[in-house]
Amino acid sequence: MRRILVALLALAALAPSAARARGPSTPEERKRAVETTRKLEKEPLARGAMDARKWLFQWIVEIPDVNVRSCTGPLDVLREDEDDQYAQLLYVQSVFGMAVFQIENPKKEKDWVAVQTAGIESVLRAYDSMRKADSELRYKALDRLEKARKDGKLAAVVKKEMASCGNPDDMGPAPSDAI
């Protein structure tokens, strides 16, 4: 599964010149991005899901008008587990959730708490779908975030645990900067 993240990061490495070459995303692309993200949340292990991820990730890297930034936080445990068959898929899902939030809420794109929370919520929806297919699947970090979401405290957890996101200088790389 480590190959999933490596493959997507390789796409990101190739894309910076493409981002300069193309213009803003089109309404059709944005619609496709939202639909693809929602489908990946509902059916993260479906046939064709990997191709959908590749298209979506590359599109996010290439477009200049939706900017997703990662931050150190509660999802890091997913990124760090190189041998887990689902962890990498869930981690990348956060990128898709953040992009869709910005598409659907353009006036809130600078609200880092809302953007990061949306990314985590997308991960939690995909996690719930995966658990329906594999009842043994458990991630303590995601179970804790799910409880916070159910208690209406997810945004507070994000604000506390991802405080460095509030400072643009401390934010992680955008997908196009990855590697």
Q: How far apart are CA 30 and CA 22, in angstroms?
A: 15
66, HSE (Cβ side, Cα atoms, 13 Å): 28
Number of domains in the chain: 1
Q: Within the chain, which residues score under 50 in pLDDT?
A: 1-2, 6-7, 10-15, 17-19, 170-179
Q: Which domain does 103 fall in, by range?
A: 2-177
Q: How far apart are CA 36 and CA 56, in angstroms?
A: 8
Q: What pLDDT does residue 140 have? A: 96
Q: Which of 147, 49, 149 is nearest to 92 (CA)?
A: 49
Q: What pLDDT does residue 21 have? A: 67
Query: Model's pTM, two decimal places?
Result: 0.84
Instruction: Give me the count of residues in the chain.
Output: 179
